[in-house]
Amino acid sequence: MATITLKGNEIHTNGELPVVGGAAPDFHLVDTELNDRSLADYKGKKKLLNIVPSLDTPVCATSTKKFNDHAAGKDTVMLVIAADLPFAMSRFCTGEGVDKVIPLSMMRSRDFAKDYGVLIEDGPLAGITARAVVVIDENDKVVYTEMVPEIAQEPDYDAALKHI
């Protein structure tokens, strides 16, 4: 279990982020066309997982836009993963000009959040994810993780981007 805060108030996740150097857990998420997506869909590519509570919050929106800006020209797939419905994620991306980040929804299952140790278990955001970044190499090994200690803070972009 990880301890994080929401505006200074302690809350907890169900576990810890995957271990750096270990195999990335598989996942089953939903894209904006309602297709199921798994880790295998991005085989052979580096993957940056920007895990956010909801795109409908200022910090989540900012992190998604910043990672989108860094996606151009990279041999890396930038995924933003949230509990939002795919329709809402699509509207956000279209409205904000986010065209390089791939939005994926947990609408069919919370297994991703459980397997990656980011499922918030208590407090007002129980049932959705903590803010985290996971970078996975082209061989599906975890090369970087960050559990953002305060949900209202942005992740360390520079540290994550060094690994792609």
Q: Are 66 and 50 in contact (CB under 8 A)?
A: no
Q: Report how many helices (DSSP H) and strands (DSSP E) the chain contains, helices first.
A: 4, 9
> In the numeric block, which tokens belong to residue 18?
């995957």
From 4, 24, 60, 143, the catalytic residue: 60
CA 111 from chain center: how many Å?
A: 13
Q: How far apart are CA 60 and CA 152, in angstroms?
A: 9
Contact partners, residue 35, CB within 8 Å, separation at least 6: none
Q: Are 9 and 153 in contact (CB under 8 A)?
A: no
Q: Are 131 and 52 in contact (CB under 8 A)?
A: yes
Q: How far apart are CA 104 and CA 101, in angstroms?
A: 10
60 is catalytic: yes
Q: Which residues are identified as catalytic? A: 60
